[in-house]
Amino acid sequence: MNSLLGDSENIIVSNITIKGGKKTFGLFKTNLLYNTFFKEGVIMSTGIAEHAEGPNDDTKKSSKINFESDKDINVIADNKGCYDTSLFEFDLISATDEIEFKYCFASEEYPEYIFKNVNDVFIFLVTNTDTNTSKNIALLNGDVNTPITVDHINPKVNSEYYIANFNYNISTIEALQNNEKHFELAKSIQYDGFTTVLTAKTKVIPNVKYHFKLGISDVGDQLYDSAIFLEANSLKSTGTKPGLLDTINNLKTEISLDFQINFETASSKIIGADSFLLLDDISKTLLKKSEININIIGHTDAVGTNTYNKELSLSRANTVRDYFISNGINSSRITTKGMGEEQLKSSISKDNRRVEIVFSK
């Protein structure tokens, strides 16, 4: 997941699962000079992910992985039956009101099996866990009538979003060498056709947990592999971040927020003008909302011993508590806790040196 996340400051990801077989997922890197394509990322396939590697010398590449289906994907596929299903799921909390992700769809069904009732399909389902409402955002330009399938993007329909990949064999290689772009693509990647780079985008409610489900399936049969290429570092929180008072005004029971409060190295001394401006903003909000209590939770990176990090994280939480008290917040409204390195947010050390504040009624 770390290879996909491009915004660790505004996004918290948890409960990551994959389903469908380990061979259907993989990391990829490319070095294409003449084609616009992702440099690196994650691939998820209805077959064996390694089969994506070129040259495109087989127009019927197929791998039978499993008979698993998924009810949400089957709805998009008009209930024609789904097989070789791969699922990638996780929970996400965004600090802003919009999330986006870049991807492209590829398939061996291109171009000869369009409109043949087998229509392999990709789904990107986003569910608000508070309301249990869901929507598929794997759509072309946000159009609910144009899901990302072989039948909806191809040489005949929405062709401006389609890229053909030519066959690489003895009879075609001479002609391909006269076109650097076609030759490079055919030599590098197996699939017979692709979409252009697409962006999945959705509005979300800041600080609310959403469940994300990315899935791909063969439809109607287990033949002809399809895949999704997910661009590295493209999962981002791109919207507007609400003010703290707006967030608190919408509080139902409790909410947990991360704050970038800086401390001296191996110390609980707060440093930086931005840290104090942030603490003052929180103090003003708490003075206006006297019914709100807070639990300040300190976190550290994994450098140092477990015991030391626990003590350091608690000391930092207590320093923040003392600052709030000095600004007029009653101590009875505040509790503290030190988690040390127990809840690492990412593999980047600085992201884990944080203070989390749980606001509750």
Span 255-299, pLDDT tens digits: 888 888 988 888 899 999 999 999 999 999 999 999 999 999 999
Secondary structure (3-state) at 117:
coil
Return the higher-pLDDT residue of 57 and 113. 57
How do beta strands 293-299 and 334-340 pair? Answer: parallel
Which CATH number does the domain 11-237 belong to among 1.10.10, 3.40.50, 2.60.120, 3.40.630? 2.60.120
Q: How far apart are the first and last CA of the chain?
A: 33
pLDDT band at 344 (very low <50, low <70, confident <90, very high): confident
Residue whose C-alpha is closest to residue 99's, from 14, 200, 197, 13: 200
Predicted local confidence at residue 247, as pLDDT: 86
Predicted local confidence at residue 250, as pLDDT: 79
Predicted local confidence at residue 222, as pLDDT: 63
pLDDT band at 229 (very low <50, low <70, confident <90, very high): very high
**Statement: residue 117 has pLDDT above 90:** no
Predicted local confidence at residue 269, as pLDDT: 92
Secondary structure (3-state) at 305:
coil
Share of the chain above pLDDT 90, in %: 51
Residue 44: exposed, middle, or buried by beta-carbon count in 10 A (0-12, 13-18, 19+)? buried
Category of 198 on φ-ψ map: left (φ > 0), alpha (ψ -120 to 50) or beta: beta
**Statement: residue 176 has pLDDT above 70:** yes
pLDDT band at 347 (very low <50, low <70, confident <90, very high): confident
Category of 119 on φ-ψ map: left (φ > 0), alpha (ψ -120 to 50) or beta: left
**Statement: residue 118 has pLDDT above 70:** no
**Statement: residue 163 has pLDDT above 70:** yes
**Statement: residue 337 has pLDDT above 90:** yes
Predicted local confidence at residue 311, as pLDDT: 95
pLDDT band at 9 (very low <50, low <70, confident <90, very high): confident
φ/ψ of residue 284, rounded to 5: -60, -40
Whole-number Cα distances in Å, 235 to 21, 70, 231, 318, 349: 23, 24, 8, 34, 20
CA distance 348 to 233: 13
Mean pLDDT (whole number) for 72-86: 74
Predicted local confidence at residue 122, as pLDDT: 84
Domains 11-237 and 244-360 share a fold: no
pLDDT band at 77 (very low <50, low <70, confident <90, very high): low
pLDDT band at 75 (very low <50, low <70, confident <90, very high): confident
Predicted local confidence at residue 79, as pLDDT: 66
Mean pLDDT (whole number) for 10-18: 89
pTM of the model: 0.75
Residue whose C-alpha is closest to residue 8's, from 349, 357, 355, 358: 349
Predicted local confidence at residue 160, as pLDDT: 96
CA distance 147 to 55: 29
**Statement: residue 324 has pLDDT above 70:** yes
Mean pLDDT (whole number) for 91-118: 89
CA distance 320 to 167: 63
Predicted local confidence at residue 67, as pLDDT: 60
φ/ψ of residue 265, rounded to 5: -60, 130
What is the fold of 244-360?
60s Ribosomal Protein L30; Chain: A; (3.30.1330)
- Give me the chain's average pLDDT, please: 88
Which two structure tokens, joined as six digits, stand for 153?
A: 């993007």
For the ranges 147-151, 173-177, 313-317, the lowest mean pLDDT is seen at 173-177
Contact call for residues 246 and 206 (beta carbons, < 8 A): no
Q: Quote the distance between the C-alpha of residue 243 and its chain's center.
A: 24
CA angle 349, 351, 356 (to 5 degrees): 130
Predicted local confidence at residue 210, as pLDDT: 96
Predicted local confidence at residue 251, as pLDDT: 82
Mean pLDDT (whole number) for 94-123: 87
Contact call for residues 213 and 137 (beta carbons, < 8 A): no
Contacts of 186 (CB under 8 A, 6+ apart): 54, 55, 56, 165, 166, 167, 168, 172, 176
Which two structure tokens, joined as six digits, stand for 163?
A: 């890229």
**Statement: residue 200 has pLDDT above 90:** yes
Predicted local confidence at residue 135, as pLDDT: 93
Highest mean pLDDT among 52-61, 145-154, 308-317: 308-317
Which residue ranges make up each domain of the chain? 11-237, 244-360
Secondary structure (3-state) at 273:
helix
Predicted local confidence at residue 351, as pLDDT: 78
